[in-house]
Chain A
Amino acid sequence: MSGILNSSIGRKFAMALSALFLMFFLLQHFAINILSVFSPTAFNEASHFMGTFWAVQFILQPILIIGIVFHFTMGIILELKNRKARKVSYAKNNGAANSTWMSRNMIWSGLIIEAFLVVHMFNLWWHEMMVKYIDPQVLDPNRYYHELVEHFQSPVIVAIYVVAFVFLALHLLHGFNSAFQSIGANNKYTKALKGVSKVYSIGLPVGFIFIALFHHFAH
Chain B
Amino acid sequence: MNLTLKIWRQKGANDKGKMVDYKISDVSPDMSFLEMLDVLNSELITKGDEPVAFDHDCREGICGMCSLYINGEAHGPDRLVTTCQLHMRKFKDGETIYIEPWRAKAFPVIKDLVVDRSAFDRIQHAGGFVSVNTSGNTIDANAIPINKHDADTAFDAATCIGCGACVASCKNSSAMLFVSAKVSQFALLPQGQVEATDRVLNMVKQMDEEGFGNCTNTGACEVECPKGISLENIARMNREYLAASLKG
Contacts and interface: CB of A to CB of B under 8 A. Distances in A.
Given A103-B216, A177-B217, A178-B216, A82 B171 contact: yes
A181 B237 contact: no
Interface stretch (A6-14, A57-65, A130-138, A163-171): A6-14
Interface in A150-209: 174, 177-178, 181-187
Contacts of B213: 8, 81-82, 84-86
A139 interface: no
A7 B245 CA distance: 10
A81 B216 CA distance: 12
Report, as a range, how many residues of chain A touch the other chain.
35 or more
Interface string B201-213: 0001101100111
B214 A184 contact: no
A91 interface: yes
B235 to A, nearest CB: 4
A8 B245 CA distance: 13
A97 B215 contact: no
A39 to B, nearest CB: 40
A97 B238 contact: no
A7 B215 CA distance: 12
A173 B17 CA distance: 39
Contact of A9 (B103, B231, B242, B246): B242
Contacts of A42: none
Given A7-B241, A92-B72, A184-B242, A86 B231 contact: no
Interface string A1-25: 1011001111111000000000000
B8 to A, nearest CB: 7
Nearest to A10: B245
A181 B239 CA distance: 10
A28 interface: no
Contacts of A82: 171-174, 213-214, 216
A85 B204 contact: no
A29 interface: no
A13 B171 CA distance: 19
Contacts of B217: 103, 174, 177-178, 181-182
Interface of A: 1, 3-4, 7-13, 78, 81-82, 84-95, 97-100, 103-104, 106, 174, 177-178, 181-187
Interface of B: 6, 8, 17, 19, 69, 71-73, 77, 98, 100, 103-106, 169, 171-174, 176, 204-205, 207-208, 211-220, 223-224, 231-232, 234-239, 241-242, 245-246, 248
Closest CB pairs A-B (n = 3) = A94-B72, A85-B213, A184-B239
